[in-house]
Amino acid sequence: MKKTIYVESILVKGEWKAQQIMTVENGNISTIVDSGDEENSEINSTDERITGTVIPGYVDTQVNGGGGVMFNHAPTLENLHIIADAHAQFGTTSLFPTLITDDFATICSAADAISQAIRLNHPSIMGVHFEGPHLSVAKKGVHKAAHIRSMSDEELAVYTRKDIGQVIVTVAPENVSPEVIQALVKENVIVALGHSNAPYEVVQRALDAGATGFTHLFNAMSPLTSREPGMVGAALLSDAICGLIVDHQHLHKKSAELACKVKGEEGIMLVTDAMAHVGGTQDTVAFFDTNITRTKTSTGEKLTTPDGTLAGSCLDMHSALVHCVNDLGVPLKSASVMASTTASYFTHSLDNIGQLVPGAAANFVVLDDKLNLKSVWQQGVNIHNND
């Protein structure tokens, strides 16, 4: 099926273009042309007209839950649909459901659910992110210490399955050897480093072995100090891509601003680390043997366990982009890159998602001049409208 869409303003390959006509066929962009092109016979016969600013749909590589459910609690195809729908209303058109540290049976169930979604060509689900269980107990955060462990051959076999899309695995380099990282990378698994108390040299060996990312920069990792650069220092100095939770709870605004300035738009990908609360109505959600509760703060909302430990976020990707522009001074173009293109590059999917070019999926969001989210489009279809 072919559709033509007139757009008032659109971000294409890092450039703003005005008054364009996008042609969509079978969910993918086939052309984007200037509406003033006299050779274009479709100028006056477009199927849709979009006023506002069009940028790529958001790509989130760290989504623990949404719509009232956690992926860990019931790793099923049904819950994947619920989570994806919850985030789609906030502009996330591509995501990586994330399994927090758990037992082996749950890891297998999660992989099976992802496999079903991939087989059914779910438009939002690109693969899976296993955040743990191969982490550091010292930097576990909300992860359950009893489940933290070294990687077994059986777990390695799950991570290298070829039917679960692109796989991301977050590991602590003091718990996973460079040889294991090399084995994962050889099988096209993306290795990110996080939840780690490793010194700089150990982190660097993991990067040399093929790790290409850092999970939620600054949070749950060895800090940068005067005599020990730690994981934070290694991340800032490296070419690896860093996930950043810009909810004003995980990071001081100036820390987030520093990261954006040091790494640039191609080195930072915005992530939510979202829990069940996003797109849900509950303020308190059960999590293993504790509860996670949403509370208001002077800078927004945060999620914590009863002892005050931060437990993911109730952030959505559109809010993350707005925080970057309004509070960190990041230009909209750069914030858009961090909310979509960089994650697509990180996950080896830039040809399909994260940018609006011929051949890519017609996934985009429409913003008004105050950055309000007007509508969300996936594969050329308006799936959410705030007008």
SS3 18: strand
Name the nearest CA neighbour of 219 among 303, 327, 141, 305.
Answer: 141
User: DSSP alpha helices (H): ranges in 177-316?
Assistant: 178-186, 200-209, 230-237, 253-263
Q: Report phi then psi at 264, rounded to 5.
A: 75, 175
Determine contact, residues 96/68, Cβ cutoff 8 Å.
no
- Give strand ranges (E) for 35-171: 48-56, 58-63, 65-66, 69-70, 92-100, 127-131, 166-171
In what helix (H) or strand (E) does residue 3 lie, and over which residues does it extend? strand 2-12
Burial class (CB within 10 angstroms; exposed 0-12, middle 13-18, buried 19+) of 110: buried
In what helix (H) or strand (E) does residue 81 lie, and over which residues does it extend? helix 77-88
Give the side-chain half-sphere CA count within 13 A for 330: 31
Tokens of 242: 């860093």
Burial class (CB within 10 angstroms; exposed 0-12, middle 13-18, buried 19+) of 384: middle
Query: Measured between alpha carbons, how far is residue 15 from residues 55, 200, 355 in Å?
Result: 11, 38, 11
Q: How many residues does the chain have?
A: 387
d(CA 78, CA 13): 35
Write down the catalytic residue from 273, 351, 369, 387.
273
Q: Is 289 among the catalytic positions?
A: no
Which DSSP letter does residue 353 get? S
Name the nearest CA neighbour of 273 among 240, 299, 243, 294.
Answer: 243
SS3 317: helix
Active-site positions read 273
